[in-house]
Chains A and B, each alone.
Chain A
Amino acid sequence: MSLLTLDRLDVRHGLLKAVREVSCDIADGEILALVGANGAGKSTLLRAIAGAHLPAAGRIVFDGVDVTTMRAHNRVALGIALVPEGRRLFTTMTVEENLAVACASGRPGRWSIDTVMTLFPMLRARRKARAGNLSGGERQAVAIGRALVTNPRLILLDEVSLGLAPLVVEGLYRSLHSLFEGGATLVLVEQDLNRVLGVASRVVCMLEGRIVLDGRAGELTRDQIIKAYFGLRRGSGRDDKVQGQP
C-alpha cells in the first residue's frame, strides 16, 4: 500500500496554477527525487503535501487518511515533515530551541534533540547559538534536524543544497546517509541532478505544474531526464512519460 497518494492535485499559487492534475503514489521506503526547472511547481507541491497550501482540487491521502484539507500541524502529528525551501528557521531562537519547539508535537520515535546532534555533530557545539548567527550549512542541519525531531514517516526536503558550498553539501548528504539507508520515505527536491540521482530510487520530473516523467532511477537515462526537465519534444507530450501517467 502506498504511503502517500496524490490524486489529480491542482494547487494555486496566488492566481497562478502552480500544480496541475498531479497524480502520484509514493510507497513506504521510497526515495523520490523531484526535479524540474525553477517554477515547475515542485516547492508548491511539497508545501501542499505538508499542508502549507490548500489545493484547489484533488486529494491527498497519507497512510490511508484523507489529509487534503487537514491543517499543517495536524499532518505533522500524523507523520509528515517538511524541510522548507530557504530553511525558514526561527532566527531569534537558539539551535536547541528550534529543535525543542518541534519536539512539542510529541510523536514517539528514535529522533530526539540528542540523536539529531549525533547526526549533525557540528550542532552540538552551537546548541546555544542563535539560529540567525549560524552558517549556511549549520542552518540547513538545524532545518533538517527540526523536521526529524517530529519523528516523521514522510520527510519532504526542499532544495537542501540551495546556496551551500559543494563541500558543505557533501557533508550534509553524508550525514543524511543514515536516513537514506534506514528505510525512511523521502521526497527530495534538488537542483543538483547528479547528487540526487545518486541516492534516489525513483525520479519524477515536473514541468509547468505537470508531471512529465516518472520512473525508477536505475531505468531512466540521463538523456531522458534532461529532455523532460527542459520540456523538449513538448508537442508530443505523451511520449515523454515513461510510466503511463494520465
Chain B
Amino acid sequence: MSGRSDVAVERWTRASIVSGFVVAVVIVGLTLVPLAAGANVIDKLTTLFVYIILAAMWNALAGYAGLVSVGQQAFFGIGAYFAIQFSVHGVPAYPSLVLGAVAGAALAAPISYFMLRLHGGEFSIGMWVVAEALHLMVNQDKLVQGETGTSMIALNAYSHAERLAYNYWLALGTTVVLLGAVFVLLRSPLGASVQAIRDDEDAAASLGVRVLAAKRTIFILAAFGCAMAGVVWLSTSVTFQPKTNFGVQWTAYMILMALVGGLGTFEGPILGAVIFFIVQDQLGETGVWYLAGLGAAAILFALFLPRGLWGEIEGRFGIRLMPVGYRLRLHDVVTAPKGD
C-alpha cells in the first residue's frame, strides 16, 4: 500500500505470535514422546502424522493449485516400492525409506510435464490412470510377485521399540518439514501466485504469473509428501502390498480430510486429519456403513460446507492462527484479513 500513514500492513498478529510460540512448544513436546509414552500411543501418533501429511499435501494440490488429483496413491505406493528396491540393493533401512520418497518425487517431474496440461476432471482421472499403471508395473517385478507383495526385511534388524521410535521421529520430522515447507511457500511470492491461480487461472496468467511453474512446484512437493507418507506407512507395517499401497482409498481419505478440515487454509488439513484419525480409530472396524458414511460426508461437505470446518471458523470469526496472509490495519480498526 502506498505510504499512507493510517494504513499498516502486518503479517504477524497477536494471535499468530502466540500460536507460533505454542507450535514450537508442541513440536518439542512431541519429539520427547517416545521417551515417555507407551507403544500404543507412539504408534497411533505416527498414524496421525501420516494422515496430517496426506491431508496437507492434498490440500496443497487442490486448495492452492486447484488440482484435484484422484491418483496421489501413485506416489504413496511408488515411494514405498523404491524404498524396498534401495533396501534390497544394500542401502540401510531408514536412508532407503527417504531415498525411496525422493525417487518418487523425481518421478513426479516428468509425470507433471504431461499431466499438468490437463484440466479439471481430465487431470483427476488421468492421475488415477497413472496410479493404476504404476501399480500394474510394480506388480510385474518378481520381487513383488504380483499382489502378494513383499516386505522390507532390513527393518527387522531393529528391535520393535527402536523401530517404533524411529518411525515416529521420521513421521514427526516429515510432518514438521512439510508443513514448514507449505508455510514458507504460502508466505513467498509463489504463495501469492498460487492464490491467484486458484482464483482465476487465466487472469493470473495474463498478469504474468508463471502458472505452470507454480503448479509444478506444488505437484512435486505433494508427490514427495505422499511418497514420504507411503514410506512411513511401510516402515510401520513392514509389508508392502501393491493393492494396499496403491489403493484409491488413500485418495479418498485425503479428499475427506482436506475437505472436512478446510480446503485452501493452512490449519484446515491438520484439523481434518485429527478428526479423521479419531473417527477412523473409533469406527474404522465397523465396515461398509462407515465407509458409506465417509462418502456421504464428502458429498455433504462438498455441497454445503465447501470451505470446510476451519474455513467456516476462519470466515465467521476472522481468526487466523498462522500468519500466512496479510492484515490491513486502518486507523485503529482491524479489517477482515486480506488474502489467504
> Do any beta carbons of A and B sit within 8 angstroms of each other in the complex?
no
